[in-house]
DNA sequence: TTAATTAATCGTTAAAACACGAACAATATT
DNA sequence: AATATTGTTCGTGTTTTAACGATTAATTAA
């Protein structure tokens, strides 16, 4: 079992960041955000990589909770998981809104 | 030379996300944000990993442009690169503020 | 029943990430 | 000159990621 070395929020935020840490996965999220239809085939067409690789990236995003898939045989419809999308958004928002130390003269440069 | 398969903003955003995609690196950023003093040793003390590994993570963050280091022999002072911090913040902000398609009944569930 | 469509999974390969101890470099101190 | 302090780099091993073609599974259509 994976023991936690860091606090849960840190782990969670890093998990979301990792999931978004590849251009293909960013592209997928952007595509899903603006599409009403979001079949696997449409996503694949949009990307310059093989089907198997697209499937892998979709799995990674699903694993991270950022998207979800629904079988509509013989197709599969994907879409953003709004609940986690919002949670991730919040974690990042908190992260970026950290106040930076203002003692510049004591820090670099 | 690495050819671009995706648009530059997508690549850049993914790059920042990737750099933040490990709990140790999130922890480092949080620590740097709230510290005035930010020597390597202080960062190392804060983390449950070996010196060499801390150094690796710092390199990754520096490579991504999120931090910068300054030698102050025999110590090294690290701090957040404010310019890129702000740029990353903006890219993420744009990303999260994408409008999601509202035709729920046509999307999953 | 057979063939076509769609997408996941399998098997593989190559590269990168992660982690560590040991060795090293650069300066300060004794 | 010898020693101590600090942090990087080296060498190594393990794990994960990324990519692909081929195979498979599930349903629909012919």
Instruction: Say whether A101 and B33 touch across the interface (CB within 8 A).
Output: yes
Average pLDDT for chain B:
91
- pTM of this prediction? 0.93
Q: Give the DSSP letter string of B55-80.
A: HHHHHHHHHTTSEEEEEETTEEEEEE
The pLDDT assigned to A109 comes to: 58
Strand D near-CB residues (< 7 Å), B 25-84: 39-41, 44, 51-52, 54-56, 58-59, 69, 74-76
The pLDDT assigned to B1 comes to: 35
Query: What does the pLDDT look like over B35-87, one tens digit per residue?
Result: 866 999 999 999 999 999 999 999 999 999 999 999 998 999 999 999 999 99
Average pLDDT for chain A:
91
* Structural tokens at position A38: 């979001």
The pLDDT assigned to A1 comes to: 35
Question: What are the backbone angles phi and psi of residue A73, rounded to the nearest 5°?
Answer: -45, 135
Query: What does the pLDDT look like over A67-103, one tens digit per residue?
Result: 999 998 889 999 999 999 999 999 999 999 997 777 6
The pLDDT assigned to A3 comes to: 56
Residue showing tokens 């996965």: A25
Say which DSSP state B2 is in. -
Residue showing tokens 């599969």: A76
Helix orientation angle between A51-63 and A23-34, rounded to the nearest 10 degrees: 80
Residue showing tokens 């239809």: A37
In percent, the amount of chain A with pLDDT more than 90 equals 80
Q: Is the CB of B14 under 7 A from strand C?
A: no
pLDDT at position B91 over 50: yes
Region B3-22: what's the mean pLDDT? Answer: 94
Question: What are the backbone angles phi and psi of residue A30, rounded to the nearest 5°?
Answer: -60, -40
Instruction: Say whether A34 and B101 touch across the interface (CB within 8 A).
Output: yes
Region B7-17: what's the mean pLDDT? Answer: 98
Within 7 Å of a protein beta carbon, the nucleotides of strand C are 4-11, 17-22, 26-28
Which nucleotide is nearest, taking the CA of residue A73 and each C1'? D27
A63-99 burial, b at 16+ Cβ within 10 Å, e below that, comes to ebbbbbbeeeeeebbbbbbeebbeebbebbeebbeee
Within 7 Å of a protein beta carbon, the nucleotides of strand D are 4-11, 17-22, 26-28
Q: Give the DSSP letter string of A1-65.
A: ----SS-HHHHHHHHHHHHT-SHHHHHHHHHHHH-S--BHHHHHHHSSS-HHHHHHHHHHHHHTT
Nearest to B11 by CA among A93, A12, A21: A21
């Amino acid at each position: 079992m994976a023991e936690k070395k860091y606090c849960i929020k840190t782990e969670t935020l890093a998990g979301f960041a990792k999931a978004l840490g590849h251009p293909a996965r960013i592209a997928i999220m952007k595509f899903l955000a603006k599409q009403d239809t979001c079949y696997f085939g449409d996503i694949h067409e949009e990307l310059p990589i093989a089907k198997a690789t697209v499937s892998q990236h979709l799995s990674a995003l699903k694993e991270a909770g950022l998207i979800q898939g629904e079988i509509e045989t013989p197709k599969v419809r994907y879409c953003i998981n709004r609940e986690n999308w919002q949670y991730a958004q919040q974690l990042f928002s908190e992260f970026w809104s950290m106040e930076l130390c203002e003692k510049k003269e004591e820090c670099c440069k």
